[in-house]
Structure 1
Amino acid sequence: MTKLSDGPGRVDNDPSAAGSLLSFAEVEARLVEAVRVSWRLPDREAGWQRVRSAWPEIMREAAAGDYDARGGDLSSSDVKLRTAAATRGEVADMEQAFDWLRAVEDDDRRLVALAIGCLARGDKQVPWLRLRRPMGLTHGAEGLRKRYTRALGRACRRANQGLLRREAGQGGISNASQI
């Protein structure tokens, strides 16, 4: 897949701009990255629920240390670091990838979300046996894999919608170079 640069730190994976179709693995990777970006976004509802008043409650800590008022005796390396905020380009790519899932039926969209979530957490493969219970099944892990493959295939078709032609090529994909 051709990647076009649009400034420092920005890589554009738009298939229509690159002139090539996105494969199943590329769509899956874009969805995994979109989930990871969504985890980095602030949760505004949870933040609103933490607000108690306009004036913050102040508690002085005697053992706060010289420059670290967060952890007392903890050094700055022991304090959990916050992830960097998402850029506009990353949010735009995330919204584009999530828009592809509009082509997937609601029941299958839940399955895709569970599977992509597992991959985003670092699993090398989707644990189909573990996904049976959240999907309300007692057996049929292979059936879940097939449903996922078909559902992500629909998302691939939506991602490549501008590059697909019904009248030419195998499976509706044109082999013409003028696309």
Structure 2
Amino acid sequence: MLEVNLTGEIRHHYDEESSLPAHNLVIKPLLEQSKSAYIFGLKKDDELFKANSDILISERGKFRFDSSKECVIGHEQLWNATMWKRGSIIILLQGDEFDFSDIFKSTYRPALTLTPNMGNTVSATKRCKEERELGNIAICFPASNGIEWMTIYANDKALEEIMKQAENNCREKAYYTRKE
């Protein structure tokens, strides 16, 4: 899996109600191209659910985003929530071909990850792996760190192409190799 950062140096130190560049430059384009998007781990009695119930449809233990409505602008707190306040959010893309080039121009620090379960609900991670096996691309935003990171699940062939796009377009590619 490939992981990219969406917030740069501010990391997860942002006001959870604020609008961030990633909302318009990363999340909205992904949602517009998605076959579906879900949130795992949010409860109906949670304040975040109550504040965003107009865009969430209950579906077998999770919530599906209502694609007929604006699900990002005006709902930034749902996306930005950290510390397990909302659970994991996944966006599913049909098939294994997607051009991330423009999206990656607004992201940072691409890296392979071997710990996809960390910071995510088990059910979201499981669904991402299932979608990968079906030949689709799944994107997961962690329950623990809001939109600081997104993890991309894809089959080996697709992931290789996505990694090339990340290398060509993401910012701060050598971040983890810098000597302080």
TM-score by length of 1: 0.22
Q: Is the strand fraction higher in 1 or 2? A: 2
Q: Which has the higher contact order (CA 8 A, sep 6+)?
A: 2
Rg larger in structure: 1
